[in-house]
Amino acid sequence: MYVERASRLPGAVVWTNTPSRTGAGRVLPDGCMDLLWHDGRLLVAGPDTRAHLPDGATGPWAGVRFHPGTAPALLGVPAHELRDRRVALADLWPAARVRRLADRVNAARDPASGLEDLALRQAAGTEPPDPLLRQIVTALDAGRSVAATADALGVGARRLHRCSLSAFGYGPKTLARILRLNRALALARSGVPFAETAARAGYADQAHLARDVRELSGLPLGELLGRAGQRGE
Protein backbone atom coordinates (compact mmCIF):
# COMPACT_ATOMS: atom_id res chain seq x y z
CA MET A 1 0.00 0.00 0.00
CA TYR A 2 1.23 3.47 -0.91
CA VAL A 3 0.80 6.36 1.56
CA GLU A 4 2.17 9.89 1.35
CA ARG A 5 2.17 13.10 3.36
CA ALA A 6 3.52 16.61 2.98
CA SER A 7 7.09 16.98 4.20
CA ARG A 8 8.48 19.60 6.54
CA LEU A 9 10.84 20.36 3.64
CA PRO A 10 8.90 22.86 1.49
CA GLY A 11 7.49 21.33 -1.67
CA ALA A 12 8.57 17.78 -0.82
CA VAL A 13 6.46 14.71 -0.08
CA VAL A 14 7.29 11.84 2.28
CA TRP A 15 5.94 8.44 1.24
CA THR A 16 5.96 4.78 2.14
CA ASN A 17 5.07 1.83 -0.03
CA THR A 18 4.68 -1.86 0.67
CA PRO A 19 3.92 -3.56 -2.66
CA SER A 20 1.21 -6.17 -2.40
CA ARG A 21 2.96 -8.42 -4.92
CA THR A 22 6.20 -8.69 -6.85
CA GLY A 23 6.25 -6.18 -9.71
CA ALA A 24 3.41 -4.05 -8.32
CA GLY A 25 3.59 -0.31 -8.60
CA ARG A 26 4.16 1.53 -11.87
CA VAL A 27 6.03 4.80 -11.27
CA LEU A 28 4.91 7.46 -13.73
CA PRO A 29 7.13 10.36 -14.83
CA ASP A 30 6.41 13.54 -12.88
CA GLY A 31 9.52 15.72 -13.12
CA CYS A 32 10.62 14.75 -9.61
CA MET A 33 13.57 12.97 -8.02
CA ASP A 34 13.42 10.85 -4.87
CA LEU A 35 15.69 9.92 -1.99
CA LEU A 36 14.88 6.27 -1.26
CA TRP A 37 15.26 3.74 1.55
CA HIS A 38 14.91 0.01 0.92
CA ASP A 39 16.19 -2.95 2.91
CA GLY A 40 18.44 -0.69 5.00
CA ARG A 41 20.06 0.96 1.95
CA LEU A 42 19.87 4.55 0.65
CA LEU A 43 19.27 5.16 -3.04
CA VAL A 44 18.31 7.94 -5.42
CA ALA A 45 15.68 7.81 -8.14
CA GLY A 46 16.44 10.11 -11.03
CA PRO A 47 13.83 11.85 -13.18
CA ASP A 48 11.91 9.46 -15.43
CA THR A 49 11.03 9.98 -19.07
CA ARG A 50 8.84 6.86 -19.18
CA ALA A 51 7.05 4.73 -16.61
CA HIS A 52 9.46 2.91 -14.32
CA LEU A 53 8.63 -0.72 -13.61
CA PRO A 54 9.95 -2.23 -10.35
CA ASP A 55 12.74 -4.77 -10.70
CA GLY A 56 11.15 -7.32 -8.40
CA ALA A 57 12.61 -6.12 -5.09
CA THR A 58 10.22 -7.03 -2.29
CA GLY A 59 9.60 -5.51 1.11
CA PRO A 60 8.75 -1.97 2.24
CA TRP A 61 10.08 1.19 0.66
CA ALA A 62 10.24 4.77 1.94
CA GLY A 63 11.10 7.95 0.13
CA VAL A 64 11.24 11.71 0.01
CA ARG A 65 10.02 13.07 -3.31
CA PHE A 66 11.50 16.49 -4.00
CA HIS A 67 9.76 19.28 -5.85
CA PRO A 68 10.90 19.39 -9.50
CA GLY A 69 14.29 21.07 -9.84
CA THR A 70 15.28 21.03 -6.16
CA ALA A 71 17.07 17.67 -5.74
CA PRO A 72 20.20 18.31 -7.88
CA ALA A 73 21.42 21.09 -5.58
CA LEU A 74 20.88 18.88 -2.51
CA LEU A 75 22.62 15.88 -4.07
CA GLY A 76 25.35 17.78 -5.89
CA VAL A 77 24.62 15.97 -9.17
CA PRO A 78 23.00 17.37 -12.34
CA ALA A 79 19.63 15.74 -12.91
CA HIS A 80 20.40 14.59 -16.44
CA GLU A 81 23.16 12.31 -15.09
CA LEU A 82 20.50 10.35 -13.20
CA ARG A 83 17.78 10.38 -15.86
CA ASP A 84 15.84 7.09 -15.91
CA ARG A 85 18.19 5.60 -13.30
CA ARG A 86 18.08 4.26 -9.73
CA VAL A 87 21.50 4.47 -8.10
CA ALA A 88 22.96 3.87 -4.65
CA LEU A 89 23.58 7.08 -2.74
CA ALA A 90 27.10 5.74 -2.10
CA ASP A 91 27.73 6.13 -5.85
CA LEU A 92 27.21 9.89 -5.45
CA TRP A 93 28.60 10.61 -1.98
CA PRO A 94 31.54 9.15 -0.01
CA ALA A 95 30.74 5.59 1.05
CA ALA A 96 31.71 6.14 4.70
CA ARG A 97 29.37 9.11 4.96
CA VAL A 98 26.51 7.16 3.39
CA ARG A 99 27.04 4.29 5.84
CA ARG A 100 26.72 6.74 8.74
CA LEU A 101 23.59 8.26 7.23
CA ALA A 102 22.06 4.85 6.58
CA ASP A 103 22.71 3.83 10.19
CA ARG A 104 20.95 7.00 11.34
CA VAL A 105 17.95 6.38 9.08
CA ASN A 106 17.75 2.75 10.17
CA ALA A 107 17.81 3.80 13.83
CA ALA A 108 14.97 6.33 13.39
CA ARG A 109 11.47 5.56 14.61
CA ASP A 110 10.64 4.76 10.99
CA PRO A 111 12.67 5.01 7.75
CA ALA A 112 10.44 7.69 6.24
CA SER A 113 11.01 10.04 9.17
CA GLY A 114 14.72 9.26 9.11
CA LEU A 115 14.88 10.12 5.39
CA GLU A 116 12.98 13.35 5.99
CA ASP A 117 15.42 14.36 8.73
CA LEU A 118 18.33 13.59 6.39
CA ALA A 119 16.80 15.76 3.65
CA LEU A 120 16.16 18.60 6.08
CA ARG A 121 19.75 18.55 7.33
CA GLN A 122 21.07 18.50 3.78
CA ALA A 123 18.83 21.40 2.76
CA ALA A 124 19.95 23.44 5.78
CA GLY A 125 23.53 23.36 4.48
CA THR A 126 22.67 24.03 0.84
CA GLU A 127 21.88 27.25 -0.98
CA PRO A 128 18.15 27.50 -1.76
CA PRO A 129 17.12 26.62 -5.31
CA ASP A 130 17.19 29.32 -7.98
CA PRO A 131 13.68 30.88 -8.03
CA LEU A 132 13.84 30.60 -11.82
CA LEU A 133 13.34 26.83 -11.53
CA ARG A 134 9.95 27.11 -9.84
CA GLN A 135 8.98 29.82 -12.33
CA ILE A 136 9.80 27.46 -15.20
CA VAL A 137 7.63 24.72 -13.71
CA THR A 138 4.77 27.13 -13.02
CA ALA A 139 4.81 28.55 -16.54
CA LEU A 140 5.00 25.19 -18.30
CA ASP A 141 2.40 23.63 -16.00
CA ALA A 142 0.05 26.48 -16.90
CA GLY A 143 0.26 25.32 -20.51
CA ARG A 144 2.62 27.97 -21.86
CA SER A 145 4.81 26.98 -24.78
CA VAL A 146 8.57 26.73 -24.34
CA ALA A 147 9.08 29.87 -26.41
CA ALA A 148 6.46 31.80 -24.41
CA THR A 149 8.03 30.59 -21.16
CA ALA A 150 11.48 31.76 -22.24
CA ASP A 151 10.08 35.16 -23.25
CA ALA A 152 8.06 35.57 -20.05
CA LEU A 153 11.06 34.74 -17.86
CA GLY A 154 13.49 36.83 -19.88
CA VAL A 155 15.85 33.97 -20.67
CA GLY A 156 17.07 32.73 -24.01
CA ALA A 157 16.06 29.35 -25.40
CA ARG A 158 19.57 27.95 -24.94
CA ARG A 159 19.80 29.01 -21.31
CA LEU A 160 16.35 27.59 -20.64
CA HIS A 161 17.39 24.27 -22.17
CA ARG A 162 20.68 24.09 -20.21
CA CYS A 163 18.94 25.00 -16.98
CA SER A 164 16.24 22.40 -17.57
CA LEU A 165 18.72 19.62 -18.28
CA SER A 166 20.63 20.32 -15.08
CA ALA A 167 17.62 20.85 -12.82
CA PHE A 168 14.95 18.55 -14.26
CA GLY A 169 16.96 15.98 -16.23
CA TYR A 170 15.55 16.80 -19.65
CA GLY A 171 14.70 19.77 -21.84
CA PRO A 172 11.70 22.05 -21.30
CA LYS A 173 9.64 20.37 -24.04
CA THR A 174 9.86 17.02 -22.29
CA LEU A 175 9.16 18.62 -18.91
CA ALA A 176 6.09 20.35 -20.36
CA ARG A 177 4.86 17.06 -21.79
CA ILE A 178 5.27 15.28 -18.45
CA LEU A 179 3.53 18.07 -16.55
CA ARG A 180 0.66 17.97 -19.07
CA LEU A 181 0.33 14.21 -18.55
CA ASN A 182 -0.02 14.69 -14.81
CA ARG A 183 -2.61 17.45 -15.29
CA ALA A 184 -4.60 15.13 -17.52
CA LEU A 185 -4.42 12.20 -15.12
CA ALA A 186 -5.58 14.37 -12.23
CA LEU A 187 -8.59 15.50 -14.27
CA ALA A 188 -9.45 12.01 -15.51
CA ARG A 189 -9.13 10.52 -12.02
CA SER A 190 -11.57 13.13 -10.72
CA GLY A 191 -14.19 11.90 -13.21
CA VAL A 192 -13.80 14.44 -16.02
CA PRO A 193 -14.69 12.79 -19.37
CA PHE A 194 -11.69 11.95 -21.53
CA ALA A 195 -12.57 14.40 -24.32
CA GLU A 196 -12.94 17.25 -21.83
CA THR A 197 -9.77 16.13 -20.04
CA ALA A 198 -7.84 16.38 -23.31
CA ALA A 199 -9.10 19.89 -24.01
CA ARG A 200 -8.52 21.20 -20.50
CA ALA A 201 -5.05 19.65 -20.16
CA GLY A 202 -3.85 21.15 -23.46
CA TYR A 203 -4.00 18.24 -25.92
CA ALA A 204 -5.11 18.67 -29.53
CA ASP A 205 -7.84 16.09 -29.06
CA GLN A 206 -8.70 12.87 -27.22
CA ALA A 207 -6.62 10.77 -29.61
CA HIS A 208 -3.57 12.92 -28.82
CA LEU A 209 -4.19 12.36 -25.11
CA ALA A 210 -4.49 8.61 -25.63
CA ARG A 211 -1.23 8.41 -27.60
CA ASP A 212 0.69 10.43 -25.03
CA VAL A 213 -0.62 8.42 -22.08
CA ARG A 214 0.28 5.13 -23.75
CA GLU A 215 3.76 6.32 -24.72
CA LEU A 216 4.65 7.78 -21.31
CA SER A 217 2.93 5.24 -19.07
CA GLY A 218 3.01 2.10 -21.20
CA LEU A 219 -0.74 1.55 -20.71
CA PRO A 220 -4.00 2.75 -22.30
CA LEU A 221 -5.65 5.53 -20.31
CA GLY A 222 -8.61 3.42 -19.19
CA GLU A 223 -6.39 0.60 -17.94
CA LEU A 224 -4.04 3.03 -16.21
CA LEU A 225 -6.92 4.65 -14.33
CA GLY A 226 -8.25 1.24 -13.36
CA ARG A 227 -5.08 0.42 -11.47
CA ALA A 228 -4.39 1.58 -7.93
CA GLY A 229 -2.59 4.89 -8.24
CA GLN A 230 0.76 4.99 -6.52
CA ARG A 231 4.08 6.71 -6.87
CA GLY A 232 6.68 4.58 -5.16
CA GLU A 233 9.20 1.85 -5.79
Whole-angstrom Cα distance, residue 174 to residue 110? 35
pLDDT value of position 233: 52
User: The whole model's pTM is what?
Assistant: 0.91
How does residue 232 score in pLDDT terms, banded at 50, 70 and 90?
Answer: very low
How does residue 182 score in pLDDT terms, banded at 50, 70 and 90?
Answer: very high
CATH fold of the domain at 131-226: Arc Repressor Mutant, subunit A (1.10.10)
pLDDT value of position 23: 45
pLDDT value of position 56: 66
Tell me the pairing of strands 41-45 and 86-88: antiparallel
pLDDT value of position 175: 98
pLDDT tens digit string along 137-152? 999 999 999 999 999 9
- Domain range list for the chain: 2-124, 131-226
pLDDT tens digit string along 16-57? 998 765 445 689 999 999 999 999 999 999 999 999 987 766
